[in-house]
Amino acid sequence: MILCTGYRPAISYLGISFETDADGWMLRRSEDSQQVKDHPGLYLVGRFYRGLGPLHNIRREAQIAVREIAAHLDGASRR
């Protein structure tokens, strides 16, 4: 999980290839997901500002990411 706290992306240090949006941020798997597209297990939290304050947004996005991670781990354990 990556906590996004800046105004511009600084994620090249990851050393992976990924698609970006117009602002240079990694694309998500879908609009309602925190998972990075084409990278199962990698999540962005705090990037998508919704006008309610950064801590509110981080809390909301972290809750979504936790549900997605739990589902990912549950699916992996069933294989």
Q: The tokens of 17 are what?
A: 């290839």
Q: What is the dihedral of CA 2, 6, 9, 12, to 10 degrees?
A: -60
pLDDT, tens digit only, all 79 positions of the chain: 777 776 777 788 888 899 988 888 889 999 889 999 999 889 988 877 667 778 888 888 899 999 999 998 988 777 6
Distance separating alpha carbons of residues 24 and 74, to the nearest angstrom: 32
Q: Please say whether the beta carbons of 36 and 42 come within 8 A.
A: yes
Strand blocks (E) in 1-79: 2-3, 44-45
pTM: 0.75
